[in-house]
Chains A and B, each alone.
Chain A
Amino acid sequence: MTTVTDALPRLLEASGGHAREGGVADAVDGLVPPYVVAPTGPRATEAVAAVLRTAHADGLAVVVRGAGTKLGWGAPPRRLDVVLETGGLDELVEHAAGDLVVVTGAGRRLEDLQRDLAGAGQCLAVDPARQGTVGGLVASADAGPARLGRGPVRDLVIGATVVRADGVVARSGGKVVKNVAGYDLGKLLTGSFGTLGVLTRVALRLHPVAEAGAWVTVPVASARHASALVQGVLHAQVVADAAELDRPGEGRAQLAVRLDGIAPGVAARAEQTAALLGTGAQVSDTAPAWWGRDLDAAAHGVTLKASYEPASLAVLLEAVDDASAAVGLPLDVRGSAAVGTLTVGLGGSGHGSDPAQVAAVLAALRGAADRFGGAVVVRDAPAAVRAAVDVWGPVRGLDLMRRVKERLDPTGVLAPGRFVGGI
């Protein structure tokens, strides 16, 4: 076994010359990686495989980096020897417009991909355009407002090429939307935060860009009011394409419903929706300023993601209010209220980074989790906070997850410690 300090020649060879020593700018959660590899060119997938074979043989810990926008999500890795950058895997392999399918390198930027598709009147249904990469999107499974109508990221992934921790390259799925041959490894990789394999190529299902769209916004008076509005939208037949709640800790809360479709249809549905939402509802052809934007990690320091049974929205919001009162911090809430996922931002003015306060908020919300039927995980947080709290919280089926990890990455090459239960 080579030691970590003399791995560079082997990594250079494996990556076809695309390896260097890491620096402070490459740090992940404060860990500066000794090496960074960034395979590129037509043989990049083989290079990724060779790098992982080396890492596997030498016991190096590897963290995959797409655009690096969400590298702080999850628990800090226990070890870090190599940052594997996917930016060179950015080939647009095939856009089969007639089949509404695209096959792309996992390192391709989402905004580039959306531009590739726009010409054909198509899009990847994860609005709005992002700087992140396709691989990062899939590995973090993080969708925007369109999820209500178009489904979660996992439903958009129809095929994947993945390099295993031992360097073996495997494919699953294909490039047709309908396909039940073999296990759907794409689903397993979706949301795996780089701990099960490295995505090098992804086949995605596309949607036509809607001809027209409108937003209906309404002020929200209370937790119960929010819940009643969301129930109204869910059970109506207007078919909302998205329904997002914005509820600053201090200031006015608003629900916004988006309707996509053909112009005359959208106009009629927007009127119907406005009637449904009641007093103060307004139809607009532009999105509210906050639409589809993450609660800004820079401003908040700490964000949490809560998932819940949609009918228990009020329970969650009340738990947020209670937690806010208990720790004396305003808590901002934003997200896909009708889907059942919300982001909670601590201390809008940047004051919410005290580990004890974060722990108290987490404990309060998790204490109510049985009542809203979901879970609360830490998203953005300084390393000090993530070291002090339980990032993932309780997890169902953890034992099986461990066994999956043990089979696919028996020696813990891929981001050891990052995922649930220390996986």
Chain B
Amino acid sequence: MDARGLAPWLADRLPAGAVIIDPVQLATYACDGLAHYKVVPAVVVLPETAEQVATVVRACAEHGVPFVARGAGTGLSGGALPHADGVLVVLSRMRDVVEVDRANQRAVVQPGVVNLQLSALTRPDGYYFAPDPSSQQVCSVGGNVAENSGGAHCLKYGFTTGHVTGLQLVTPAGELVELGGKAPDLPGYDLLGAVVGSEGTLGVATRVTVRLTRTPEAVETLLAGFPDTDSAGRAVSAVISAGVVPAAIEMMDALAIEAAEAAVHCGYPAGAGAVLIVELDGPRPEVAHQFEQVKGMCEDAGAFEIRVAADDTERALIWKGRKSAFAAVGRISPDYIVQDGVIPRTRLAEALTRIEALAGERGVRVANVFHAGDGNLHPLVLFDDAVPGEAERAEEASGAIIDLCIELGGSITGEHGVGSDKAKYMPRMFGEDDLDTMQLVRCAFDPAGIANPGKIFPTPRLCGEVPRRRTASEGAHPLVEAGLADQF
């Protein structure tokens, strides 16, 4: 039985319109935010409940049909890239906020809930969901969980993994399991910690219990213009080594500023070779004192202009340029590759110099926008696909940047994930034994290898003996029970 063959059976069990096989409609799901990889799935399903997800996955498991979970499809590593012979499980209809539990500082949500909506909903109560990827207006909490997403403020508040305390998971065998909860330290292995960031390869999250963060008493934001990235980098080092933990420190270089300016007219300091956005939050007296310190450090490092946001409107304006930077690059270049790599923050100056050199050698330009506080670079490699050979050279430069990150002791991805795009780089960062060990964990969850196959690992491990036992409570397979098994 292939995926297409399952469609009628699934259509009988899912709400009207929840199973898509129309080629035109299917094509709209062919890619995520990394649009140059495209695969049209065999079937798309739009379940509304965890039980429906489990029904779909169980059917896939029984027939060895691969499935891929998809949230909002904003991923930048081809993580939600469909499987041509598989089922794409789209979670966009599971958008209920099940519970906001202020007393416990938790919220329980369905996976399709949009990141920013959760914060918008809880802010009047003095709370918000801290992980804030730049895509937060559209990306889903389920996608955040699967990618262990970060954002500008994860320098201080940590990544998604620190903000998820419980998950309901449909395992690749179709079982519904609860991991963690609202309380900490439930006995057993930290399976939750393994599942967050596993990019949909260990199952489908159908309910997420998240930690809500108290809104800070005070927030101060500054924008500092520097002559070059070296001087801006010195300011970053000074701040960190003084023991200040800002909520965010973001850097943009001249090319990125130019793009943002063209797109959103954010009015960044004219002639800056680099800008820093530094935000401090917390109790008022601490913020006030440290903000003065930070301003001084920026001046000492060579900032020629420092603007302080007077209110939330001005703060939003400062952030606007930064948050729209990826898309803005389209204004100054017909095509671009968004790269995501990490270096130890102390190697920043060296990394930027070498990135410029290796791009120059290949005749392409690189705009840099990044989370400077934790060394997470987002070099945007600019090219023109109309110029023969340029796309290849851009791809080469982008790959060379990743090699550089590894060489400097960093990582091939800080937040966008491995997905389809970077599976080939995994062996450069990890040895065979390392990857094999990770895949043993995968085999524990997904012995048949049907959950988002082809992602993360360049070569799938065969799990050998499948130690799957049908438990009594599961009963007979639904297909058999329904008297449909012999139909196939």
Contact = CB atoms under 8 A, between A and B. Distances in A.
A396 B191 CA distance: 10
B332 to A, nearest CB: 27
Interface in B283-309: 283-286, 289-290
A172 B413 contact: no
A190 interface: yes
Given A176-B375, A176-B410, A183 B241 contact: no
B437 interface: yes
Given A172-B437, A184-B197, 7 more contacts: A151-B158, A155-B158, A174-B410, A181-B430, A182-B418, A190-B190, A399-B177
A121 B243 contact: yes
A395 B445 CA distance: 17
Nearest to A406: B467
A265 interface: yes
A234 B409 CA distance: 38
Most buried by B among A169, A187, A262: A187
Interface in A218-268: 231, 234-239, 261-262, 264-265, 268
Contacts of A239: 214, 216, 282-283
Contacts of A96: 344, 346
Contacts of B215: 237
B314 interface: no
Contacts of B435: 182
A340 B183 contact: yes
Interface stretch (A6-14, A128-136, A307-315): A307-315
A339 B443 CA distance: 34
B283 A265 contact: yes
A170 B434 contact: yes
Contacts of A179: 342, 410-411, 413-414
B371 A265 contact: no
A174 B215 CA distance: 31
Interface string B355-388: 0000000000000000100111000000000000
A397 interface: yes
B358 to A, nearest CB: 20
A375 interface: yes
B32 interface: no
Given A182-B418, A237-B217, A188 B178 contact: no
Given A180-B414, A182-B435, A396 B443 contact: no
A271 to B, nearest CB: 10
Contacts of A70: none
Interface stretch (A40-48, A98-106, A108-116): A98-106
Nearest to A305: B185
Contacts of A155: 158, 161-162
Most buried by A among B193, B344, B471: B193
A180 B417 contact: yes
B478 interface: no
A264 B293 CA distance: 14
A308 B409 contact: no
Given A98-B345, A339-B184, A377-B187, A397 B445 contact: no
B190 A154 contact: yes
Interface stretch (B53-61, B86-94, B101-109): B101-109
Interface string A387-423: 0000011011111110111111000000000011000
A264 B288 CA distance: 10
Interface of A: 96-101, 121, 141, 151-152, 154-155, 162, 164, 168-172, 174-185, 187-188, 190-192, 196, 207-211, 231, 234-239, 261-262, 264-265, 268-269, 272, 305, 307-312, 339-341, 372-375, 377, 392-393, 395-401, 403-408, 419-420
Most buried by A among B104, B148, B171, B371: B104
A395 B191 CA distance: 12
A176 B414 CA distance: 9
Contact of B441 (A101, A169, A308, A404): A404
B444 A265 contact: no
Contact of A309 (B126, B183, B371): B183
A185 B436 CA distance: 12
A420 B342 contact: no
Given A169-B433, A396-B181, A401-B189, A175 B344 contact: yes
Nearest to A74: B187
Given A180-B414, A183-B198, A187-B194, A397 B188 contact: yes
A184 B193 contact: yes
Given A176-B410, A341-B185, A268 B285 contact: yes
Nearest to B414: A178
Contact of B179 (A152, A191, A396): A396
B189 A188 contact: yes
A336 to B, nearest CB: 9
B186 interface: yes
A400 B415 contact: no
A403 B467 contact: yes
B296 to A, nearest CB: 14
B444 A406 contact: yes
Q: Which 4 pairs show the lowest CB-CB distances between chains A and B?
A: A187-B193, A208-B243, A265-B286, A311-B103
A310 B105 contact: yes
B150 interface: yes
Given A151-B158, A268-B285, A172 B438 contact: yes
27 contacts: A97-B241, A170-B434, A172-B437, A176-B342, A176-B374, A178-B411, A179-B342, A180-B148, A180-B415, A185-B194, A185-B438, A188-B193, A190-B190, A192-B189, A208-B245, A211-B243, A231-B103, A236-B214, A237-B216, A239-B283, A305-B185, A307-B186, A310-B105, A340-B183, A396-B181, A400-B171, A407-B444
Interface in B448-484: 456, 467, 471
B240 interface: yes
Contacts of A307: 183-186
